[in-house]
Structure 1
Amino acid sequence: MTGAGPLEDELANRGNPMLADLVRGRRWADHCRTLEAIAWKYRTSSPWRDLPAELGSFQTAHKRLIRWAVDGTREKILTAVLATADTDDDIDWTVSVDSAVVGAHQHAAGAPQKGAAGRSEPDDHALGRSRGGLSTKIHLAADGHARPLAFTVTVGQAGDAPASERVMARVLVPRTGSGRPRTRPTTVLADRAYSSRAIRDHLRRRHIRAVIPQPSDQIGHRRRRGRRGGRPPGFDADAYKQRNTVERCTNRLKQWRGLATRCDKLAIAYQGALHLAAILIWTRR
């Protein structure tokens, strides 16, 4: 219709009934049409005011985006979709972790210096200055079929390793029946930026197999120490070949132009759009 494609068929069994249960009060505009309006905006990276008339009011779509991001509606829908995929045994628990830098448009600057109270909005709005200028970094965990399981956003100049535990903590797939939610992959693949003793110890405590190569400086330091350097960590070169799944997942997310370049002033709005893109990737599996 307008570039995003109709969402009624894809969300009829997952999104719309769930949204109807979560919203209370006066009659709201159709949720599927509002979701399609938000998807159209981020797929095309158009200004909100250019929203086609058949998709409703741009004020409604923007306010609904913020409201659902604040109250966690998007995360609940994504969790429900993941639970359905897990019931169908359609999640590959060989998980890859990586990050991607997203350049920020000049319209992304200018938000209040401190995040709004009660909105879970960081004071820095996940907007920082790196070599390329203003940017945001997406830290992502993807399953073995290049689909997003969890992510978080930070300032563009943030390191990869410090955010790894935050990303892994967001991996949570509830069971549709009885039992605890699944939070532990079988294997985690990551590049040399994640090669630290803290990350390896964290994965070992959780009984998760780590496939992370060592950078040359760590190898040289261990060899210089001789016996005191200990044994090198195990590394499966064949399993590491699957690490490209997280890069392919990033490419799928960045097919939405509004995610490839950030125009949102608020981090919660940008992350809410990431959740919507992830929901659609999973519902189209």
Structure 2
Amino acid sequence: MLSLKGVVAGYGGGSVLQGVDLECAPQTITCIVGPNGAGKSTVLRVISGLLKPSSGEISMNGETIGDRSPDEILRKGITQVPQSHALFPAMSVRENVLMGGYLIRKNRALLRERLDMVLERVPIVATRASDNAGNLSGGQRRMVEIARCLMLDPKLILLDEPSLGLDPRSLSGVAGLINELNQAGTTVLLVEQNVRLGLGLATHGVVMEGGKVRLTGTASAVKDDPEIASLYLGGASASSPGGPSSGGPKAEAAGV
């Protein structure tokens, strides 16, 4: 569904991404992990059109989108949920969710249909519809942020640090919603600092370091890689100490 090939991008003349290759198959959950400054969030920004790559190719279902505007990319079915502060605190939950349907606002019947779908999938939108978004807890805000992007019935959802600032109970609710959306056919690409959570939720894992992809594979294979366990999980992996098996993730010679 989504493909990045040799993508280079950055800010102020510097390149944060240095030749990123990445693929997301339909109806998968792919989690990008890595240290601060690895370029994880920058990957999401180039996909959503908020940052233009200086070279490389980004395509969605075989169509090049790297040169498209954020508006055009939204219309292609790609939506993004930022790290935090994505809601308008003085507006109601319902108003915030309806903002997600801005592109279809002239089609009142479709807008109503999408809102009904969101109300069914994310019950808090119904139960707290009239409350100001600023009065919600962190987990509730995250649920509403995801609900808002569902108004465009996206094919691909980009999630930037969905666990940020959430307590364990809220994390469980958000993870459950992500799984439900994926099971309903939505492809998910997420960035996570919480490696155990992110790879536990995902079907596929990607490890980035220094603006490059260093390791890819199934989420379980990436999580069980000895180097990943040592660097990010604070202990031994479930894999043998000799390294990943022949069916495991692919690593560049530079390592992780």
TM-score normalized by the length of structure 1? 0.27
Higher Cα radius of gyration: 1
TM-score by length of 2: 0.29
